[in-house]
């Protein structure tokens, strides 16, 4: 096993702390609008899907979540009236998550706060060159980790 050098350790810790803090800030800002970041991300995925519909298994795959975690989140979104579940006709065991009009409205209401938060806590904190580097590094990691 090859231990991390001091420089590698510092980079790793800075990256880990920065990503946790960023996600906490984004979540806190969305919570102020009455929506956790996880729910916002699920609504965004549904809003971008054909007919605002995705299989539950797809939501789990795209969010890298266990099906039970997605099911819990979908239950909460369904209680809020933001999505509804429907049987997947091609698979009796499968379920679809469908974005409702109320869900789309909730997403539209939360989006400006989210964009403001992303801009304040990430985009505007970086120079254009740093932002380009961040994208390049992120794409390299996504390719490596199997997007």
In a domain, 120, yes or no: no
Q: Report the domain count for the chain.
A: 1
Domain contains 70: yes
Once rounded to an integer, what is the mean pLDDT over residues 119-146?
96
Name the average pLDDT for the chain: 93
pTM score: 0.88
Q: What is the CATH number of the domain that holds 101?
A: 1.10.10.10
Which residue segment(s) compose the domain that 54 sits in? 27-113
| Within-domain flag for 134 | no
pLDDT in tens, 1-47: 999 999 999 999 999 999 999 999 999 999 998 899 999 999 999 99
CB 111 within 8 A of CB 91: no
Greater confidence (77 vs 66) lies with 77
The predicted structure's pLDDT at residue 13: 98
**Is residue 96 within 8 Å of residue 86, measured between CB atoms?**
yes
Q: Is residue 36 part of a domain?
A: yes
Nearest to 38 by CA among 77, 67, 84: 77
22: in domain: no
Query: Is 34 among the domain residues?
Result: yes
Q: pLDDT band at 90, cuts 50/70/90?
A: confident
| Residue 9 placed within a domain | no
Q: What is the pLDDT of residue 147?
A: 54
C-alpha–C-alpha distance, residues 118 and 40, integer Å: 13
| Structure-model confidence comparison of residues 128 and 64, the more confident one | 128
Distance CA 76, CA 44 (A): 16
In a domain, 20, yes or no: no
CB 99 within 8 A of CB 47: yes
Q: How far apart are CA 6 and CA 4, in angstroms?
A: 6
């Amino acid at each position: 096993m090859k231990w991390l050098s001091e420089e590698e350790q510092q980079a790793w810790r800075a990256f880990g702390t920065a990503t946790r803090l960023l996600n906490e800030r984004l979540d806190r800002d969305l919570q102020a609008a009455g929506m956790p970041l996880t729910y916002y991300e699920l609504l965004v995925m549904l809003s971008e899907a054909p007919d605002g519909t995705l299989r539950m298994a797809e939501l789990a795959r795209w969010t890298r979540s266990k099906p039970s975690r997605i099911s819990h989140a979908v239950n909460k979104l369904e209680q809020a009236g933001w999505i509804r579940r429907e049987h997947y006709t091609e698979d009796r065991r499968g379920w679809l998550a469908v974005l409702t009009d109320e869900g789309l409205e909730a997403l539209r209401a939360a989006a400006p706060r989210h964009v403001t938060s992303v801009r304040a806590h990430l985009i505007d904190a970086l120079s254009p060159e740093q932002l380009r580097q961040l994208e390049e590094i992120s794409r390299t990691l996504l390719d490596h980790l199997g997007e």
